[in-house]
Amino acid sequence: MEKELLYPLTNKFRFDQKLDGLWDFKFDEGKIGQQEKWTLGLPEAMQMPVPASFNDFFTDKDSREYTGDFWYAKRFFVSESLKGQMLGLRFGAATHRAVVYVNGQEIRQHEGGFLPFMADISAAVKFGAENLVVLKLNNELHRDALPAGDTGVLKNGKKIAKPFFDFYNYSGLNRSVHLIALPQRRITDYTVTTALTGTAAEVNYTVTTNQPTANIAVALRDEHGVEVATAQGEHGQMKVAQPQLWQVRDAHLYTIDIRLVDDSSQMIDEYQDQIGLRTIKIKGHQILINDQPVYLKGFGRHEDSIYAGRAFDLNVEKRDFELMKWMGANSFRTSHYPYDEEVYRFADREGFLIIDEVPAVGFKMAAASFLGGLDQSFFDGNWTQALYKKHLDQIADMIHRDKNHPSVLAWSLLNEPDTSSQSAVPYFERLFKDTKSLDPDQRPRTFTLNEDDTFDTSYCKEFPDFYLLNRYPGWYHKWGYEISDGEAGLREELDKWQASAIDKPIVFSEYGADTQPGLHKLPSVMWSEEYQIELLQMFNRVFDSYDFIRGEQPWNLADFQTVEGNMRVNGNKKGIFTRDRQPKEAAFYLRKRWLAMHNDFKN
């Protein structure tokens, strides 16, 4: 059965109600919840906001660092008026695995903490009455899961998350929960792609339903509500004369209206969404939007804020977009997981390009890593077969969910995997083969190469359509007064890319220096605001020296939380802004550079 991931809406045929607010919450360290029938309600529960990560609300460390099973519960009313429809609970995200119960009945299980899933509760609900939804969640990390890590046990018996990734393992119901009602005969998905022909745009569409055959009518309206094209059938083409194209930082959106009609010409379902008309191509070392070159200016980011952790917050998101606009940015990467759907809707409206990344992070276990690991290639492990199935499933869900967003430029299939061993090659061959046909728009696919995966050492350079390089000379090596050697080493590698037969764009997707806001030193030292600017200046000199470098996305937009460690002072401080979204000195330097740079820089 096809997964239904359409964004919820309310209209004449569809109903959507958020169940956000305070939920009952309880830890289950002894794994007794099932036995004691917590599926029927949580005894002596505390209250927990949804959406939110549970971690940072607590003042005791055992609660903040809790690893294992934990439960949520909420009562909700289902109106008699919804009888006859398909009733569902749609969870925007549940970290990292969940079992859903309604009125004591198990409905479904799901693994993956950064993508939505729906539970069909039609057979379990009581109409005209109060109902109970209970979730058992688990936030343990494993090598055969995304993101990758281990779960350890301290001598006192407490479990501890040991991530192979450098961000905090925030857990809980981090995104909204929706009660939805849909027609029994309904639209389940749609896809649009655009082709440009002279002064017109051809919008190719496919609509899927849960019927063997369906009568479909499609209309396209501009931003003024004027109908510009119509079509009939489950798939077809609409031609738009003189279209307003979706451009980088100059977004124009159309409303697509899809109607399902029965044999008596009665409309039985309708779905509306906003789309943009644009094309994406990689040509040589250029990234082309609507056949025009674009240079990416932006950031790696995290869904991370004070108190609510990884929870989606419209207020934080609005602030982040305003900061990026102020900076002159035009893009970002959803490092290191797909973001809440509202983020993409923001980007669609504001004209930002997104490199959409699946949570395949931590697929590297170097012994020298400050996060700990094994002295072997990650892909030599016996866990890769089980991991691959989950990896491919989450890529498929990410593309399925996000494929119609004009803001999505590319799919990032992994972040910093270990490609310096030949054992990675079969995994990558299979992954790129199996994902090739998932996106009808055929956006480019890529992944990030880290410090150990260079032009000389990576065995997987053939796979991406363009390259994302994460490089940290001036910070993790050749730091301080040695930064000039760091620049020389970076240029040596880039000279090899330039001298090779490879002609693909390179985007620097991570680089930066941890910086304590307010720390000033003349001459500079590491951690000072002056040093952060000097490091950015060094990288910018390099970027401007090579035409095939087609983007710069420093790490990170804002400071964010990580695990404790002797290389971190309360989190990662590489942000151009503080965690509460105030500028460091580097923001003013970078803003001046980017505002002077047109979107087609290096045309």
Are 137 and 156 spatial neighbours (Cβ–Cβ below 8 Å)?
no
Q: Hey, what are 517's tokens?
A: 């806001």
Are 588 and 531 spatial neighbours (Cβ–Cβ below 8 Å)?
no
Q: Hey, what are 594's tokens?
A: 């980017």
Paired strand residues for 134: 73, 101
Smallest CA-to-CA distance from 256 within 241, 240, 279, 268 is with 240
Q: How far apart are CA 526 and CA 535, in angstroms?
A: 10
Task: Let me know if 510 is a catalytic residue.
Answer: yes
| Residues in Cβ contact with 187 at an 8 Å cutoff, skipping those fewer than 6 apart | 6, 207, 208, 209, 258, 260, 269, 270, 271
How is residue 560 annotated by DSSP? Answer: B
**Which of the residues 416, 487, 529, 552 is marked catalytic?**
416
How is residue 22 annotated by DSSP? Answer: E
Smallest CA-to-CA distance from 473 within 447, 458, 494 is with 494
Q: Hey, what are 597's tokens?
A: 């740079």
Number of neighbouring beta carbons within 10 Å of residue 186: 21
CA 582 to mean position of chain CA atoms: 23
CA-only gyration radius of the chain, Å: 24
Amino acid 489 reads G
Give the H/E segment covering residue 133. strand 129-138
Are 261 and 217 spatial neighbours (Cβ–Cβ below 8 Å)?
yes
Amino acid 394 reads Q
Q: How far apart are CA 202 and CA 241, in angstroms?
A: 9
Task: Let me know if 585 is a catalytic residue.
Answer: no
Smallest CA-to-CA distance from 539 within 489, 497, 505 is with 489
Smallest CA-to-CA distance from 294 within 277, 276, 281, 312 is with 281
**Which of the residues 4, 270, 341, 510 is marked catalytic?**
510
**Which residues are part of the catalytic machinery?**
416, 510
